[in-house]
Amino acid sequence: MDENSLGFDTTSQPVKGQRGQFDITVHLDSDRQNSRTYRTVRIISSYGADPLRGRGTRVFEAVELDGNGEPIGSHVVLKDTWIDNDRAREGNILTSLHLAAQGEDKQLMEKSFLTTICHGDVWTGFGLLDDNAKALMRGLDIEKDRDSLFQLQRKSTIHWGRSAPRSESLRASSSVQVPHSNKTYAHKTHYRIVFKEIGTTIDRVRSLPEVMKVLTETAGGAF
């Protein structure tokens, strides 16, 4: 059985003798013949990869490798994620915004958004786009009479409470499960993007004024 059949990612290889470090291939503009390799230095964020269903996002600090496997240039940020296959790619969205901006808007763009170095969908060693429809499922569909076995259902819990007797601080609560209809999720495609700037996640900012500054600048960039 080959590595892709087992679910291993051949475009992300562990660095020998360096625990937790990987050499990751980024295919430029989704071109499987045109790629760069980056070696991770540390993981910046991985909480997006914890849920069973989601985008599996991991963000690394990394450095590019030359043809001899030697580090070149400054450290960068590499984002590895699984996106809905019909969504516009983040790198293309940023490029469109930069091209459309003029004057003060262009200056705001350069100040508020990260600089894209390269990006693209991931291609497997067999020349297949790394997605969960063609690569993982090998292009097969679940038979219509069996698809109900694989549908996901989300259940929500509604809580309500009342004051407990002789106590203002304790509350007695009840809950009920509210079923939701089965949900259909879009196929996911493996995607990577590399940014020039290295930031700090907001949960590591220890100063409240700095947190408020970040939130204000985020809102400024969004509007």
How far is Cα 196 from Cα 45, in angstroms, rounded to an integer? Answer: 17
Place of tokens 């993981």: 43
Mean pLDDT over 154-174 rounds to 50
pLDDT for res 213:
86
Instruction: Please give the C-alpha separations between residue 132 and each of 136, 137, 175, 199, in angstroms, as whole numbers.
Output: 5, 6, 37, 31
Q: What pLDDT does 153 receive?
A: 56
Q: What is the pLDDT of residue 170?
A: 43
Task: Tell me which H or E stretch contains 93.
Answer: helix 90-100
The pLDDT-based confidence of 171 (bands split at 50, 70, 90) is very low
pLDDT at 5 over 50: no
Rounded CA gap, 104 and 95, in Å?
17
What would the pLDDT profile of 34-77 be if each residue is shown by its tens digit? 899 999 999 998 877 777 677 889 999 999 999 898 999 999 99
Inter-residue contact 160 to 173 (CB < 8 Å): yes
- Tell me the pLDDT band of 217, cut-offs 50, 70 and 90: confident
Beta carbons of 91 and 115 less than 8 angstroms apart: no
Instruction: Give per-residue pLDDT as tens, 112-122.
Output: 788 999 999 99
Confidence of residue 191 (pLDDT cuts 50, 70, 90): very high
